[in-house]
Amino acid sequence: MKELMRSNDAVLISFVGALLNDADIAHFIADQHMSILDGSIGVLPRRIMVDPDEIEKARRLMRESALGHELTTESR
C-alpha cells in the first residue's frame, strides 16, 4: 500500500474515503484507532493508504476534486 494523504481532519479523511469508495479504489485508513493513544484530541494524523496499482487513479481523483494540495509530498 502507498500513502495517498494524511490529515488530522476526521471530516476530510471521511470525505476522501467516500470519494475513493465511489471510484472503486481499494484503500484503507491507517492509524484511525490511534486516538486511543492521543486521548481523542486529534494530534496523530490518519493516513489513507491506496493499492499501488491504483495510486495514480487516486491522485488524479484528488486533483480533480480540488484536493491536490492534501496529497502527501511523495504523492504530488
CATH number of 2-75: 3.30.70.790
pLDDT of residue 34: 66
CA-CA distance, 37 to 31, in Å (whole number)? Answer: 10
CA–CA dist 19, 43 (Å, integer): 24
Q: Look at residue 64 in the predicted model and tell me its pLDDT.
A: 97
CB 45 within 8 A of CB 8: yes
Domain ranges for the chain? 2-75
pLDDT, tens digit, for every residue of 20-65? 999 999 999 998 766 556 555 656 889 999 999 999 999 999 999 9
- In this structure, the dihedral spanned by the alpha carbons of residues 41, 16, 59 and 71, taken in order and rounded to 10 degrees, is -20
The residue type found at 31 is D
Backbone angles phi, psi at 3, to 5 degrees: -75, 125
